[in-house]
Amino acid sequence: MSFEPCPSSLIDTHCHLAGDEFVDDLEAVIARALEAGVTDAVCILDAASGVERQRVDRLRQLWPSLRFAAGLHPHHAAQVAADEVTRLVSEVLAQTSAVAVGEIGLDYHYDFAPREVQQVIFADQVALAVARDLPVVIHSREADADTLAVLDTHGGGRARGVFHCFTGDQALAEAAVSRGFHLSFSGIVTFPRADALREVARWVPADRWLVETDSPYLAPAPRRGGRNEPARVQAVLETIARCRGLSIEEAQAQAWRNANAVFGATPPSRGRVDTPTTMC
Ligand SMILES: [Zn+2]
Ligand SMILES: [Zn+2]
């Protein structure tokens, strides 16, 4: 499955529209997204949640171009028996014709599951993604070295995808890009104190950045703290455009191409680290 090239469209590459937070006014949320020019989104499904799976048909009806990704989040790594994870995630991938495995990864900030368990569950899903030739959507928090180690060990040099809600430093950005990965920026890049992150957004090669909302989380400035929704991906795009010296139209077209490279049929080139010519 690939996205049709449409440079005037905007895509929110990471949102949780199947969550409880959107049940009451999903139609209005989607209408606002479309009005804002956000024609597409990747909806992240929690593979362990039967409730989210039940909402897929309604989501599809309301937003036919919506794509899905499915995975077992590190927060829930202890909720499913390790030998069941691959079967469970495979089932949801098939049910939804998913374009990616995710979100998956390691979260050592909350440590909701033991770290060894998180690592095993992450590794199995990386292997699954590689076997299916699907990208991964990675959630990595305070776990940079182990995240890279799992990708290197279990990706067999073929893992690709995106570090979602990227908040890492320059070293992690370079490590991710040199492995062929994309960095996805969320509303955090709009926060007043996020100068270091905006530096990364300026540095990242032109073909390696994406924008997302992570709705309902991470509302961009100035609505910080409220419920987020896909329409607000525009604010993230505007910040990235400003950092990189692009017009909104140029940024939008680039974001679209990059999303297509990750979630469409054509894998991105690997190992390239070119330096952008634009400045913040
Ligand atoms: Zn996440
Ligand atoms: Zn998320």
CA of 164 to the centre of ligand 2 (A): 8
Instruction: Classify 10-263 by CATH class.
Output: alpha beta
* Per-residue pLDDT, 108: 97
CA of 3 to the centre of ligand 2 (A): 21
Kindly list the domain boundaries of the chain, sorted by start residue.
Answer: 10-263
* Per-residue pLDDT, 7: 52
- Listed as ranges, residues in the chain with pLDDT below 50 are 1-2, 5, 265-280
- The CA distances from residue 208 to 32, 196, 235, 239, in Å, are 27, 18, 19, 16
CA of 74 to the centre of ligand 1 (A): 9
Ligand nearest to the CA of residue 69, numbered in listed order: 2
| Cβ atoms of residues 248 and 236 within 8 Å | no
* Per-residue pLDDT, 58: 97
- The pair of three-digit structure tokens given for residue 74, joined into one six-digit string: 């590190």
* Per-residue pLDDT, 276: 36
pLDDT tens for each residue of 224-246: 778 999 999 999 999 999 999 99
CA of 131 to the centre of ligand 2 (A): 23
CA of 103 to the centre of ligand 1 (A): 6
- The CA distances from residue 48 to 23, 86, 111, 174, 200, in Å, are 18, 12, 18, 32, 33
Tell me: cis bond preceding 192? Omega within 30 of 0 counts: no
